[in-house]
Structure 1
Amino acid sequence: MTETNSSRRATRQGDDAESRVEHHGAVWRIRSLHLARQILAARDATTQAGFTAEAIPKGYLRHHPILISDGPLHDDQRRKVGRFFAPRVVAERYGDDMCRTAARLLDDAARRGCCRLDQIALEYTVEITRRAIGLEHSSVAGMSRRLEAFFRQPPFDITAPKLGRSKRQWALAAWNGLLPVLRFWFADVRPAIQALRKSPRQNVISHLIAEGYSNTDILVECVTYGTAGMVTTREFLTMACWHLLDDDPLRNRYLLAEREERHAILEEIIRLEPVVGHLYRRVRSELTICEDDHEWMLRPGDLVDVCVRPANADKADVGENPLLICPGRDMRHGVDPAGLSFSHGPHKCPGHALAIAEADAFLTDLLRRRPTLVTAPRLDWDDLVTGYTLRGMILGMSSQT
């Protein structure tokens, strides 16, 4: 998969491995997009193993969180919650809010003459997404800080026994996880539940209350949406801006394009730069995957590591020059323009449309202001979402638009 001509910024060891399938013991690593789609679509043969799903006790919750549940329960959750994130709902219910919020934040940045993009992007994504969830009864700045605190965890390896952590690291993980959850509960989730029990609205928390979810169940869902939704969208927005500022033809095309084409550009950027780099599944029943004339048998207990970055650059499915940004590229029929960046199958991200629309509203306003890149972001990696983080990107902002 090695390509000399590449626009990808977020690269990591193993991304350029030539082997499309690796099998060591009970661990499979899949870099073929075609095979990855088969595994992720295997609804009855695999279960969620990413995001430390297998380390979360299942006996304490009546409703297992949507991100890590499986089977009929998960399908029912997805069907009911999906209506809050459908493309038409996103455009009609949140479109104006996105534009107003972006304009307000960017006007403030213009008055200061500069901004740190990852900070303003977090505030923006939290403010928009919290409305869909129902977390509107606390400050955006405070919630942003509390959400960031969830990621201050010791490193871990899902493919290793006990996640590869020592007893001391597990204790630190419990401590670092409990305090942010408690703060998030008292400052953000509890006030929202109290208000929405009295006056329900069209949002996720009101839906969960109506479905009989306990306070603990709702808290865990809110943590899931907060960390897996708001924070990862911040990373994508920052990465997309970095690419657009460094590519004059692409930026000019984006500024002149209608919404459909702008969204296609953003989906191509996230195909190249997926925020979540690995998707993990545990095999529960025998599963045969095949490509060309080859077959592989996966057995119960095996762990599958779907390597998203190399899969998204699989020439067989995404076409020529897979490591270049080519919106509208000729891809194999049925392949999502974003590749596996929003997953595939029963666990495909329900917030796909919201994330693209959020990024588009913000970047359209930002780029029309002709910002300058003062400091490129520092790229690092996070184990929880197995993806990149971008920090310290400074933009020069003018009051003239």
Structure 2
Amino acid sequence: MAATEVKDDRKSAALAAQRVKPNQGARVISRFGLAREILRSTEMRQAGAGAEQAPRVDVEHRSVFFLDGEEHKRKRTAIARFFTPKAIGTRYRTVMEHTSDQLLADMRAAGGGRLDTISFELAVTVAADIVGLTDSNQAAMAKRIQGTLFGTYFLHRNAVLRRAAQLVSVVNGLRFFRSDVKPAIRARRKQRREDVISHLIDEGYPDKAILIECMTYAVAGMVTTREFIVMAAWHLFEKDEVRERYLAADEQGQLAILIEILRLEPVAAMLHRRSNADGELLAVSIRDANVDESVVGGCPFAIDLDRPGASPANTYMSFGDGSHRCPGAQVALNETRVFLDRLFRVPGLRLTREPTMSWSDALMSYELRGALVSCSR
């Protein structure tokens, strides 16, 4: 008797299996329950992702992403107002809709476009509004931010290439500071606004610490969202039933579909934590936890639009968990939802070239480039 074929809708699984590597000496955690317990534990601290090599600024002005304990809790609480459902549903929703309409109007005028470029412009604009990077040219800023990551593509090359690539990243970082961060700081020193940079100025952060915070938000809020938008679009282009359900659903139904896609294709693959008690290093596999049958049920590798327990409130491990859970999770989901709802209503829309998938060892995530779409002018 032939074995039952297991349906597997994952696009990034094979590449992730080749490239995801825990930090040396780390014990890999694959089960959902234990992963959640570790990420929620107050006896664990951040490790990996640069946390243990974070830029050395004084603790008072260190990025919230690289803090633990009471200091992290205090700073996380202070920025929570920028990521509330009310802020997303009112102020940021307007930015998402207006920017999506502009980008898609440009795409229609050209008869098509490159999906990763369009989605990155959207992600940059939304995150920039939250952070306060609104006093420079957004398209030029997107290129500078991309340039700061240049060095991450040469991590495993020879020393000469690594140093040259790092120099390019540093130069782009300086350009980002001079052209984007500094003007935003100047404007907000004159008049505060409801954004992160204004908050940091009120907290007494020096310019260097503000730059580090802006760089961290750029990666967390712009780069990763671009990948998810392209990945979700790729699935919707290929799967007629999923696309039809998406376009017929209300907002909550659309979010549930996106979360199910993200469950299979989490942008971040692994999180590291170190025990305060004995110093043990643990690597939480988000990809494994998200397909744990004890939590997600049967057919864990398939997109199931009626999966029991699925809801917009249940994002599995896709955005982490515990005190360091991604604060912008709902921002990323909502801007993706707004953009894709509009994209797939464009007349004559077709995917004319699938994206090329590569891997970022530095971010431990997939990257999708070169997806081309065409549409009626």
Give the structure-2-normalised TM-score.
Answer: 0.92
How many residues get paired? 371
CA contact (8 A) 2:266 2:318 kept: yes
Contact 1:381–1:387 (Cα < 8 Å) also in 2: yes
- Alignment counterpart, residue 359 of structure 1, candidates 325, 328, 336: 336
2:8 is aligned to 6
- Give me the whole-angstrom Cα distance separating, in 1, the residues matched to 2:332 and 2:252: 14
Deviations 1:354-398 (A, max 9, x none): 101100111011001141010000011112221000000000111
Distance 1:170 1:105, change over 3 A: closer
**Residue 247 (1) aligns with residue 239 (2):** yes
Q: Percent of counterpart pairs with the same letter?
A: 38
SS at match of 1:153: helix
In structure 1, the residue matched to 2:30 is 31
Which residue in the other structure is 2:295 paired with?
317
TM-aligned CA distance change 1:208 to 1:66, over 3 Å: same
Q: Which amino acid aligns with 1:153?
A: G
Partners of 2:333 and 2:356 lie apart in 1 by: 23
- Compute the displacement of 1:351 (Å): 0.2
After superposition, the Cα gap between the structure-2 partners of 1:123 and 1:68, relative to the gap in structure 1 and judged at 3 Å, is same
User: Does the Cα contact within 8 Å between 1:151 and 1:384 map onto a contact in 2?
Assistant: no
1:156–1:383 CA contact under 8 A, matched in 2:
no
Tell me how far apart the structure 2 counterparts of residues 24 and 212 of structure 1 sit (CA, whole Å).
35
Maintained 8 Å contact 1:117/1:394: yes
CA deviation profile, 1:140-194 (whole Å, cap 9, x unmatched) = 111111111222225699xxxxxx8976576456424322221110011000000
Letter matched to residue 333 of structure 2: I
User: Could you say what the CA RMSD is over the residues aligned between the two structures, in angstroms?
Assistant: 2.6
Which amino acid in the other structure matches residue 373 of structure 1?
L
d(CA) in 1 for partners of 2:270, 2:148: 19
Query: Alpha-carbon deviation of 1:251?
Result: 0.6
- SS class of match (1:390): strand
Deviations 1:30-61 (A, max 9, x none): 11111111111112x22111222212243556
| Residue in 2 that maps onto 1:374 | 352
Q: What's the counterpart of residue 326 of structure 1?
A: 304
Residues 173, 28 of structure 1: alpha-carbon distance in 2 compared, 3 angstrom cutoff: farther
Partner of 1:123: 121
Q: Is the 8 A contact 2:154 2:162 kept in 1?
A: no
2:235 alignment partner AA: H
* Higher helix content, 1 or 2: 2
TM-score normalized by the length of structure 1: 0.86
Spell out, residue by residue over 1:17-41, the C-alpha distance to the aligned partner (whole angstroms, 9 max, x if none).
Answer: xxxxx99984201111111111111
Q: 1:131 to 1:154 in 2, by over 3 A?
A: closer
* Distance in 2 separating the partners of 1:186 and 1:67: 23
Unaligned runs of 5+ in 1: 17-21, 158-163, 286-299
Superposed CA deviations along residues 119-145 of structure 1, whole A, max 9, x for unmatched, are 011011111211111000111111111
Map Cα deviations across residues 294-336 of structure 1 (whole Å, 9 max, x no partner): xxxxxx222211111121111111111111112352249x996
* Preserved contact between residue 62 and residue 217 of structure 1 (Cα < 8 Å): no
Give the whole-Å Cα distance in 2 for the aligned partners of 1:170 and 1:284: 33
